[in-house]
Chain A
Amino acid sequence: MSPEALDGRTAFISIAYLGASIAFILGLRGLTRPETARGGMQLAALGMIGAIAGTLVNHDIVSYGWIFVGLALGTLLGWPLGMRVAMTQMPQRIAISHLFGALAATLVGIAEYTHHVWGGHELGRFTALALGFEVLFGALTVSGSFMAFGKLHEILPGRGITFRGQNAVNLTIFVSAIGLLGYVVFAPTTSWAFFAMAGLAFLAGFMMVLPIGGADMPVVVSLLNSYAGLAAAATGFALGNAVLIICGALDGASGLLLSVLMSKAMNRSFSNVLFGAFGSAKPALAAGAKGEMKEVTLEDAALALRYAKNVVVVPGYGLAVAQAQKIVGELAALLEGHGNEVRYAIHPVAGRMPGHMNVLLAEANIGYEKMIEMEDINDRFADVDVAIVIGANDVVNPAAQRDPSSPIYGMPVLKVELARRIIVLKRGKGTGFAGIENDLFTEERTSLLFGDAKATLQRLLTELKTL
């Protein structure tokens, strides 16, 4: 922007964009504490409204009809996606919004490209590179997010789909897309190469998520978040717009950080998640399961909980599937009424996306100060009177620490086996998602309650009320 172009409107736009950038950074900083988080998001929303107002006075805009159609339609469709979606559906909700975000970036990229090339405007190599990146990452994220949404929402098979030579095929598609991008930069006006690149990137998104199973989705969803951010940043480079670059960088950094955290929590490398197809691996028939699983009566379990000074609830995804969070909250309130301490041990991948379990428990009116992260509670399990494991398996498997031959060896787990007494609520006698035997269930101090988590908890609650 040259100084002589700095009239009133342009100044207003610049200030609105600068204000938005600051609001977004402060908004994210608000998320570092639960008390400041809401205020931060309100500030970010104000920044966004300011940026939209600033954009609406842009000199290039000649008609507002279609802009308002888009804004109205988006509000109409966005409202139910905000109000009606259940907290258990958060992972697929996030996946679909990656799709919308990436689609917006891709379409803007295509519109800008055709405007330059077909409209006879000059297209520099740098802008061609930025537009190419935008459409490459955008198209990849659109189809990848669609696949992730489909798998999480169970309209597509959740298990990974693999075939011979898959990695080679995927690599070929991806390298070809990058090659075409290079060609577009070399000869910016070759539109066939631009569209072929977009098509290949779109295909690559499908192929990338195809082999990945349900349990690995937290990493994929985080990674797609990062890609959507990179597409937005590339838009900023193409349009010479700093607020887009800043938001894209924030988004990209956030997604990348979360994917690294999730990979660590699963003891897997990025490439292993993307190319390893863990979800479809044959279950390892470990020699494990040395002892017998001991069943306990409801009465005994209720007595143990009633007279335990401190209880730790270990929720797994099974809890969310059974929709049993509210009953856990009631059970905990009852125990707390007797003066027992109840806390919750949260494994980073207990849900289907980062932080998912915390949201599900918060929805059941459980205070966040009782949700303890894995690193903080692991040293304290030895002082726990009763640990009650609900629908969790691999995240509490001691083999991850003890048995180098176990497929999950090295994965950080909750050291539930150190507790004085362990009660496990389990649907049946089978193995967990990864198909691995769990020695915790045959431990001396472990007793099991079989059946649907919700029904079992309901009966346990009734039993406790009679004590």
Chain B
Amino acid sequence: MTLAVAELYVFILAGFVGYQVITRVPPLLHTPLMSATNMISAISLVGSIVVAGSDRGTLSTVLGTVAVTCATINFVGGYIITDRMLKMFAGGKKS
């Protein structure tokens, strides 16, 4: 099995898992779901950190640093705002 095929397997299986999990998320939590996936999308840091730090020339360093900044904004801001929302729901039975 070539690497590309293995990657395709991972992609399709992860998509399948995602579909199965996300169909079970109630509409009540669809906004937090969206901000949560936004937070998770900050995983692009694993790519941008390497680009910013591997000294491949000025252009790469600049692009990498901006990318690290953008992804970190999504991680920090996304986590805080998702938690703010979920805190409101966590209370549950209150009038």
Residues of A that sit less than 8 Å from B by CB: 17, 20-21, 24-25, 27-29, 31-35, 37-38, 41-42, 44-45, 48, 51-52, 54-56, 58, 60-64, 66-67, 69-71, 73-75, 77-83, 85, 87, 90, 93-94, 97-98, 100-101, 103-105, 107-108, 110-112, 114-115, 119, 126, 221-222, 225, 228-229, 232-233, 235-237, 239-255, 257-258, 261, 332-333, 336, 346, 348, 351, 353-356, 358-359, 362-363, 365, 367-369, 371, 373
Q: Is the CB of B32 within 8 A of A103?
A: no
Docked-complex contact B74 and A61, CB < 8 angstroms: no
Per-residue 0/1 for B32-57: is the Cβ within 8 Å of any A Cβ (1 yes, 0 no)?
11111111111111111111111111
Which residues of B are found within 8 Å of A248, using beta-carbon distances? 11, 41
Choice from A17, A82, A229 contacting B37 with Cβ under 8 Å? A229
Shortest distance from the beta carbon of B81 to any chain A beta carbon, whole Å: 5
**Would you call A232 and B32 a contact (CB within 8 A)?**
no
Query: Which residues of chain A are within 8 angstroms of B22 by Cβ–Cβ distance?
Result: 28, 250, 253-254, 257
Q: Which residue of A lies closest to B72 (CB)?
A: A74
Given the interface pairs A107-B63, A253-B18, A355-B31, the reply to whether A81 lies near B81 with Cβ below 8 Å is yes
Q: Are B40 and A104 in contact (CB under 8 A)?
A: no
Q: How distant is A332 from chain B, measured CB to nearest CB, in Å?
A: 8
- Contacts known (A28-B25, A70-B52, A359-B32); A104 close to B76, Cβ less than 8 A: no
Contact B53 A61 (CB under 8 A): yes
- Chain B interfacial residues counted at CB < 8 A: 84
Chain B binding surface SS class:
helix
Chain A contacts for B35, CB-based, 8 A: 90, 93-94, 97
A-B contact list, 14 entries, CB within 8 Å: A34-B28, A52-B45, A58-B49, A97-B78, A114-B60, A225-B37, A232-B44, A237-B4, A243-B46, A250-B22, A261-B27, A354-B27, A355-B32, A358-B30
